[in-house]
Copies of this chain bind each other. A is one copy, B any other.
Amino acid sequence: MSTIHNFGAGPGILPKTVFEQASQAVLNFNNSGLSLLEMSHRSKDFVAVVDNSVALVKELLNVPEGYSVLFLQGGASTQFMQVPYNLMKQGGKAAYLKTGVWASKAEKEARLFGETVVVASSEDKNYNYIPKEYAIPADVDYFHCTSNNTIYGTQMKSYPNSPVTVVCDMSSDIFSKPVDVSKFGLIYCGAQKNMGPAGVTMVIVKDEILGKTARALPSMMDYTVHIKENSLFNTPPVFAIYVSMLTLEWVKAQGGVVEMAKRNQAKAELLYTEIDRNPLFTCPVANEDRSEMNAIFLLTDESKEEAWNTLCKEAGLHGLKGHRSVGGYRASMYNALPIESVEVLVETMREFERRNA
């Protein structure tokens, strides 16, 4: 079978070695004679997986003292409700930066728990840029933003100075580069881009911001319950946590998030340079806000769509179809995507240019 270059937006590509280790663990975990899928989550071996995963997150992101790392379920969509449940005071307010569908959904869920203030929105240009001139009110309980917008191909390259706790949905660029965790009160992500498979959500939370709302919380919504139980309050998503651990071990072995950033910058530069140079393609995203994770590009001549799709297929380029709300194409270049795949994409773009000269 010829090589497939997986540019899918997510669940996304993970390292081949991770797939091999995970596949083996399904048959026989740690040479125990048991499948990882039939083991108690209270077993010594699995508790070690959780502990190791937490330690890897802390090491890779240089998480300061006073923060807890959790592995939960329900994806970022559950965090959209869990964040205000835990952080919005009774009758409180929160500020949201509206940079796309996911940011909007987060804001919508928060409205059930209090008042929301949208400090800025890029909806006017179909979210093709990141708003920068806005003020965060000092009287809100937190400010929420989305670091990378998979659908629109935008990414925050810096974060605003905030008078209040900053909460960030980093689902699609966590572990792709260093991040100063100390600037955030809470970071969350669905794992299924750079961290692992679908089915586990990671939360990094500053302990001191919790327990201040006087709201009665259901146990599963309460971060403090999960902190106290080391993410083992109830049966966790065993396999998804294990595969995340393997992926984080891979990131570490490659040189950590500094090396990931280097690779991701190189891949993004290679692709955006070609999109900008090649007259058959165009990128609708503001230059300075272009995502290193998800590059959006359109055909300058839409009548050539079928020819381009065919060429992509022949080259083994997979998952390039853009999101329906933007159209065109999207190349997702998560950590595990080798630069060779981007080279094949760029070469295919050049071949497309030659054929249409």
A residues lining the B interface (CB < 8 Å): 1, 4, 6, 8-14, 19-20, 22-24, 26-27, 33-35, 37-41, 73-78, 80-81, 105, 108-109, 112, 190, 192, 197-200, 216-221, 233-240, 243, 318-319
**A15 nearest CB across to chain B (Å):** 10
In angstroms, Cα B23 to Cα A78, docked, is: 29
Please determine whether B198 and A11 come into contact, CB atoms closer than 8 angstroms.
no
In angstroms, Cα B101 to Cα A53, docked, is: 29
Contacts of A197 in B (CB 8 A): 37, 238-239
Partner of A237, one of B8, B81, B237, B318: B237
Please determine whether A20 and B14 come into contact, CB atoms closer than 8 angstroms.
no
In angstroms, Cα B109 to Cα A236, docked, is: 19
7 nearest A-B residue pairs (beta carbon): A199-B237, A81-B218, A77-B234, A73-B73, A23-B26, A37-B197, A198-B238
Please determine whether B37 and A243 come into contact, CB atoms closer than 8 angstroms.
yes
In angstroms, Cα B221 to Cα A237, docked, is: 19
In angstroms, Cα B219 to Cα A239, docked, is: 26
Please determine whether A318 and B243 come into contact, CB atoms closer than 8 angstroms.
no
Contacts of A10 in B (CB 8 A): 40, 235
In angstroms, Cα B8 to Cα A24, docked, is: 21
Please determine whether A14 and B35 come into contact, CB atoms closer than 8 angstroms.
yes
* 6 pairs, CB–CB < 8 Å, chain A vs chain B: A14-B35, A14-B38, A73-B78, A74-B74, A108-B219, A197-B239
Contacts of A8 in B (CB 8 A): 38-40
Please determine whether A75 and B234 come into contact, CB atoms closer than 8 angstroms.
yes
Q: How many copies, total?
A: 2
Please determine whether B34 and A4 come into contact, CB atoms closer than 8 angstroms.
yes
In angstroms, Cα B237 to Cα A74, docked, is: 8
Contacts of A218 in B (CB 8 A): 80-81, 109, 112
In angstroms, Cα B81 to Cα A234, docked, is: 14
Please determine whether A20 and B27 come into contact, CB atoms closer than 8 angstroms.
yes
Partner of A74, one of B9, B41, B76, B220: B220
Which residue of chain B lies nearest to A215 when distances are taken between CB atoms in the complex? Answer: B112
Which residue of chain B lies nearest to A31 when distances are taken between CB atoms in the complex? Answer: B1
Given A10-B235, A239-B197: A219 touches B77 (CB 8 Å cut-off): yes
In angstroms, Cα B219 to Cα A105, docked, is: 9
Partner of A40, one of B73, B233, B237, B319: B319
Which residue of chain B lies nearest to A111 when distances are taken between CB atoms in the complex? Answer: B216
Contacts of A77 in B (CB 8 A): 219-220, 233-234
Please determine whether B41 and A198 come into contact, CB atoms closer than 8 angstroms.
yes
Please determine whether A19 and B11 come into contact, CB atoms closer than 8 angstroms.
no
Contacts of A237 in B (CB 8 A): 73, 198-199, 237, 240
Please determine whether A14 and B40 come into contact, CB atoms closer than 8 angstroms.
no
In angstroms, Cα B161 to Cα A41, docked, is: 37
Please determine whether A11 and B34 come into contact, CB atoms closer than 8 angstroms.
no
Contacts of A220 in B (CB 8 A): 74, 77-78, 80-81, 109
In angstroms, Cα B35 to Cα A14, docked, is: 9
